[in-house]
Amino acid sequence: MDLGEIWTKLDMLYEHWCTAIRQQQWFQSLMQSTPLNRSTAGWLLADLRFPTKSLNNLHLASTTADHISARPTLYLISSIPLLIILICLSTWLITTIQFWRTVSRSKKQAARASADVKPIAPPLLPYAIPWLGSAMSFLNEDPGSFWKMLQKKLQDTDAKIPICTILLGGQKAHVVNSATAVQALFKSKQVSRDLFNHQLATQALGASEYDAELMFPPSRPTEDLDDHKKRNDRTEKMEALNHEFLLSQSAVNSLTTKFMDCLHSVLDRADIDHEWKTIDLFSWWKKAMFEASTTAVLGSTILQENPDLAEQFWQYEAGLLARFYGLPRLVKPDAYSCMDVMLNRTQEWLQRGLTQHHMMPPEEPDWEPHFESKVVRARHRLYQEFGLKPRGRAAFDLGFLFALQANAIPSTCWLLAHLLSPVTPHDVLDRIQEEFKHAQTPTGDIDVSRLASQPLLNSALHETLRHYVDSLVTRQLQKDMVVDGYHLKKGDLIMAPSSLSQHDPTFWEQGDAPSADNWYAERFLRRDDETGKEYFSTSWASGKFFPFGGGSHVCPGRVFAKQEMLGALATLFQRFDIKFIEYVDTNRSGNRADLGKAASGFPKVKRQYAGNGTLKMDGDIRVQIRRK
């Protein structure tokens, strides 16, 4: 049989394949839907053919030896696009069939008594591209869209699927959605954060492999007792540092007090007097909070030496996930160039600060201008003990700055946007302003500990975190594990996306609760049955609400972050009168467009990758403001 006959046979097989596809229910539904889908389906099955007939039309069917030898090459070249399409379609068909078979098994499992249930693998989300799997759709820059697609896919199964698997570049990742599965992940000792830590340190922060292993020593199957002890000692020392300087209430209160002092200093210098002035609120407020927070934690000299630090930082922050996911410099050059600039500047600033203190950061006082707060100085003493190089120290200080700024500032801006929005009931801001008054001392100062006990204020803040925090808790399985009746294999990833759990309509829309996609200030308020008083609580949402992560790796700075946000908001309204005028949009060229007061003008979410922490705002609010 010559090559021409082989291609003819393949053409016949393709025709049979097309006939079989046309008989499938999904294809018939596609043909009955939108014109775009009909044309796509028709193009795939009607217009594509193996090139035997078209070659004859091109008069390539010559009997000469040269033409005979040319035909197979032309056949092959012409067939490559079709072959790719066939592979992708076949992959999609096979994975779709496998997905629904697993869903069917899950339904049968759910109907049985728990003692009779044998763990099965979770359903694998269908995909078309071998090896890549769902990576392309996962790495889109439309925040939340991948999780909404996954949520809809699972809802369409009419089955409760607490865990679904996705393929990301050859790596299986099990996405957990049920409260039970999320809590099991947080409590499990069979999962590791080593892979995440390594990617974060080397790719996102720019540390060397050497410094990454010193800061986050990985567990190895072949490590001896000395290596095991050394790794545990370093982990315990970092945990002890976090507990002493970021989790103990006295240390957090001291840091918060310094932040409030710095914020008052920034606001004292603001070009706003007792007459009404029109400003774009968030453009101004982001700079004010950044300066106060950076000064409180890193000292004042870093801003004096780098007056454009805020602008550089937000560029650095915008590229962090592109670096974390390993996108090359060629694709995202800005993400890497701004990191290089920030690393160089931070390293130079650190070197000057260390030189002033004879290369050893002092333990006292609580704060000093050249070498930051107690917590940062304690971190540097650990860096020195671990043997980190100057570049590594700069990288991890930038990571600390990212954790400090990249979530608290955007969250405060989102909360402000909702409180000032004409769409929000007017009494919400009035009631919160009353709570601010309850938190004032007789001298007029703000008592942050009292702020933390105000129910509506805290409900509104945590609703903002629920609505806008898109974090991705990721671990790697060190052993096989069974969760919610599903068998998860060693080496696979397990993910808990906060966006998926915190927007699950089956949980958040129970009773008369509003849509999970809407911001609702009173969502975390509960009423005491005996006293009738309202109180704030998140305990009822365990496993569904985790903006700071969970388990042993929960964010150590969460207490300070909450006090910082509450204190900043109270200070703003204590010192200024603010009136909403309209929404504002900013285009890429920097020009600002007035959007009026309609709800459609409310700030949008910026394009960014999944797992970016607090989503960033695209837009602003124009207000009138004056000092009280």
Q: How many residues does the chain have?
A: 628
Taken in order 222, 225, 230, 235, the sign of the CA dihedral is positive
Question: CA-to-CA distance for 56 and 601, rounded, in angstroms?
Answer: 60
- Cβ atoms of 238 and 432 closer than 8 Å: no
Question: CA-to-CA distance for 573 and 625, rounded, in angstroms?
Answer: 10
Q: How far is CA 40 from CA 2, 27, 46, 153, in A?
A: 34, 11, 10, 22
Tokens, residue 564: 């910082």
Q: For Cα atoms 389, 395, 399, give the angle at the middle one, nearest 5 degrees.
A: 140
- Cβ atoms of 267 and 571 closer than 8 Å: yes
Q: Is 88 annotated as a binding residue?
A: no
Exposed / middle / buried, residue 498 (Cβ in 10 Å: 0-12, 13-18, 19+): buried
Question: CA-to-CA distance for 51 and 55, rounded, in angstroms?
Answer: 6
- Cβ atoms of 622 and 281 closer than 8 Å: yes
Helices (H), 542-594: 558-575
Name 580's bridge partners: 623
Exposed / middle / buried, residue 102 (Cβ in 10 Å: 0-12, 13-18, 19+): buried
Q: Which of 618, 626, 612 is nearest to 140 (CA)?
A: 612
Exposed / middle / buried, residue 122 (Cβ in 10 Å: 0-12, 13-18, 19+): buried
Which residues belong to the annotated binding site? 555
Write out the binding residues for heme: 555
